[in-house]
Amino acid sequence: MTRIAVIEKEKCHPMACGGYLCIRVCPVNRTGQDCIVKGEDTKASINTEFCTGCGICPKKCPFDAIHIVNLPEALEKDPIHRYGENGFHLYSLPTPMFGKVVGVLGVNGIGKSTAIKILAGVMNPNLGKEKEDEAGYDELIRYFKGTEAQNFFEKVRDGKIRISYKPQQVELIPKSFNGNVRELLSKVDEKGSMEEIADLLDLREFLETDISKISGGELQRVAIAATVLKDANMYIFDEPTSFLDIKQRIKVSKFIRKLADEDTAVIVVEHDLIILDFMADLVNIMYGEKGAYGIVSLPKPTKAGINVFLEGYLKEDNIRFRDSQIKFSPRQAGKDVEKPALISWKGISKRMGDFHLSAEQGELKKRDVCGILGENGIGKTTFARILAGVVEKDSGEMDDTIKVSYKPQYLESESEEPVASYLQDAVVKFENQLIRPLNLNNLFDKKLSELSGGELQKVSIARCLSQDADLYLLDEPSAYLDVEQRLLISKIMRDIMEVNLKSCLVVDHDLLFIDYLSDDIIVFDGEPAKHGEVKGPFPMSDGMNSFLSGLNITMRRDAESNRPRINKPESQMDRKQKSEGKLYYS
């Protein structure tokens, strides 16, 4: 059996564990052999030749930095890429296919971005050797002999495949480009189709705006436009819908779908399962062990692939990659027990520059988790801030005696404060409900400014939920989190509201996440940047019906997994549901 030892270097703190605790407890070291040693970077380093796989050091390390993994037998080969000694191992790659959109689905830290960077040619794999020893195309072709990937890399080597790639972190674009949107797109426009793409992706209104001044959603669309303006026959998109609202997500999905034809292959990494389902023909599931190793499954039809992912079990390989199944329960209308009221409002009006927000009559109940749906720029955050008392309303009635804890949409922290002190309240009050399930102890020694997007999101959610308040407002808590983390957060939020008799408002664009966590729904109608109308809260199915009518789509539940799916436009189900006026099957 092949065994790998991985040490997550950023988690290894040799002094904080009492001075190389792993070295002291390793039975092989105790016999005098150098199984675990102090590495040149001062972190622990494991020599796999000596390691017996006894499993003691991963259990003892207080920071969860060590993984000793017995690999499935099929993996008794060198990895495609290894991040240095005791680093993450990647064992296979997704399969690009001409005429198809191939999705890549997996949790964070499982190697998705590494895999597609290798496919995109922006990162050279080292076939498990030292970092400097990067493999050329001929070596890669030999490594993949007899597989689809051999064919693929031969074509790349011979210039028959030209690749264009949209990286994950679009927020870094303004750091590397000075100028407006038009200037950026003109620079990369190899096809001469900038005007057409600008219309298709709704860029017209901000073409002359400086790149540093546009919003996250606008930046995402500019990055997608820049990718497709390159003359390529394979397009790779790493998380193309982050920062986009649902209307834009659907628009972008349709746009990406249309790119795939018999001469063009498309690969997409996406965490929004409803959108991935809508956009992709096939999916590759990535599994393994977070931070340790990643494997890519063979491609599967999207519907089946997503269900396999939710189940956590690959039947053909007999591999269970998650202990438990992710389940969606059918909703039971009218089963709710009557809940006491928390806050009500009536006829709220607020003008901010050219934008006007109005809210009809509405009421939130205690123990309620209420989802908020609507486009970007339509006043969701403003309404949340009015309820929070951070923004004053112009007119209308509101019970303003409640205390509100708020997590904003954009999280940026330059603070030097350590996570442990920032999360003091959560440690004292919610050790079992927040700190442990979200694995936040591992971040305690880090400063807020050192956290990744996903880490900062989890820390901010925990901080918000641990404050003493009646109502918790969370704006886009799903951003930067993978599917498993999103569903875990949903469960945590629901439990905390239920046990502590509190209420929660969640603004988010991931419909599956909203479906999973919400008791009811507030819908925002109107026109972005001009006016917004707050409607509801409605029961889930009424709210979704009202929201979907503005998008011209219908949704049903998957018979096998019960997860919500968008019907293919003009399919039998789509037409049936539209004729019945039931746009959402709950």
Rounded to whole angstroms, how far apart are CA atoms 400 and 363?
12
Q: How many residues does the structure list for the chain?
A: 586
Smallest gap from Cβ 54 to ligand SF4, in A, equals 4
Q: Name the minimum Å distance from CB 365 to ligand SF4.
A: 46
Cis peptide bond upstream of 537, omega within 30: yes
What are the tokens at 319? 């591999």
Name the minimum Å distance from CB 431 to ligand SF4: 21
Q: Secondary structure of 450-491 in the HEC alphabet? A: HCCHHHHHHHHHHHHHHCCCCEEEEECCCCCCCHHHHHHHHH
Piece of the chain touching ligand SF4 by CB under 6 A; list 5-13, 178-186, 432-440, 446-454? 5-13
What string marks each residue from 67 to 96 as x (binds ligand SF4 by CB under 6 A) or -?
Answer: -x----------------------------
Q: Kindly state the smallest distance separating residue 457's Cβ from ligand SF4, in Å.
A: 25
Q: How far is the CB of 78 from ligand SF4 (least distance, A)?
A: 21
The amino acid at residue 10 is E
Torsion of the alpha carbons at 13, 19, 20 and 22, rounded to the nearest 10: -100
| Under rule CB under 6 A, residue 13 binds ligand SF4 | yes
Query: For residues 37 and 209, what is the distance between their CA atoms, to the nearest angstrom?
Result: 54
| Residue 420 touching ligand SF4 (CB under 6 A) | no
Question: Least distance (Å) from ligand SF4 to the CB of residue 455?
Answer: 18
- Site string (28-57) toward ligand SF4, x via CB under 6 A: x------xx-------x-x----xxxxxxx
Q: How far is CA 177 from the centre of its chain?
A: 26
Give dist(CA 70, CA 4) in Å, integer. Answer: 7
Sign of CA dihedral 211, 215, 216, 220: negative
Q: Which stretch binds ligand SF4 (CB under 6 A): 14-22, 334-342, 442-450, 547-555?
A: 14-22
Closer of 62 and 99 to ligand SF4 (Cβ):
62
Exactly one of 4, 6, 66, 127 binds ligand SF4 (CB under 6 A); that residue is 66
Residue 572 burial class via C-beta count within 10 angstroms: exposed 0-12, middle 13-18, buried 19 and up: exposed
- Closest approach, Cβ 439 to ligand SF4, in A, equals 15
Nearer to ligand SF4, 36 or 244 (CB): 36
Comparison of 53 and 179: residue with beta carbon closer to ligand SF4: 53
d(CA 564, CA 554): 10
Nearest distance in Å: CB 11, ligand SF4: 7
Rounded Cα gap, residues 32 and 38, in angstroms? 15
Residue 71: CB minimum distance to ligand SF4, A = 15
Q: From residue 525, give the alpha-carbon distance in Å to each of 249, 358, 378, 428, 586.
A: 17, 10, 8, 41, 22
Which region, left, alpha or beta, applies to residue 223 given φ > 0 means left and ψ of -120 to 50 means alpha? alpha
Q: Using an 8 Å Cβ cutoff, are 547 and 523 in contact?
A: yes
Q: Which is nearer to ligand SF4, 22 or 116 (CB)?
A: 22
**Measured between alpha carbons, how far is 246 from 79 in angstroms, rounded to an integer?**
38
Q: Which is nearer to ligand SF4, 233 or 442 (CB)?
A: 442
Report the residue from 4, 6, 45, 65 that binds ligand SF4 according to the rule CB under 6 A. Answer: 65
Using the minimum distance from each CB to ligand SF4, give the nearer residue, 137 or 444: 444
User: Token pair for residue 331?
Assistant: 């909703």
Of 65-73, 223-231, 440-448, 546-554, the window that binds ligand SF4 (rule: CB under 6 A) is 65-73
4 near ligand SF4, rule: CB under 6 A = no
Question: What is the token pair recorded at 359?
Answer: 């809210």
- H helices of 286-414, in order, are 302-311, 380-388
Least distance (Å) between residue 59 CB and ligand SF4? 9
Instruction: Figure out which of the listed residues 4, 63, 455, 474 binds ligand SF4, where binding follows CB under 6 A.
Output: 63
Total residues interacting with ligand SF4, rule: CB under 6 A: 26
Burial of 190 (0-12, 13-18, 19+ CB in 10 A): exposed
- Residue 275 to residue 512: CA distance in whole angstroms: 9
The reply on whether position 20 binds ligand SF4 by CB under 6 A is: yes
Residue 28: CB minimum distance to ligand SF4, A: 5
Question: d(Cα 452, Cα 81) in Å, to the nearest integer?
Answer: 23
Q: Which is nearer to ligand SF4, 57 or 489 (CB)?
A: 57
> Please, which residue, 85 or 425, has the CB nearer to ligand SF4?
85
- Choosing from 6, 12, 110, 296, the residue that interacts with ligand SF4 (CB under 6 A) is 12
**285, 309 contact by CB (below 8 A):** yes
Instruction: Give whichever of 51 and 203 is closer to ligand SF4, judged by the CB atom.
Output: 51
**Is residue 17 a contact point for ligand SF4 (CB under 6 A)?**
yes
Nearer to ligand SF4, 26 or 163 (CB): 26
- In this chain, which stretch among 12-20, 86-94, 185-193, 460-468 interacts with ligand SF4, using CB under 6 A? 12-20
User: Would you give the DSSP letter of residue 212?
Assistant: G
Footprint of ligand SF4 (CB under 6 A): 7, 12-14, 17, 20-22, 26, 28, 35-36, 44, 46, 51-57, 61, 63, 65-66, 68
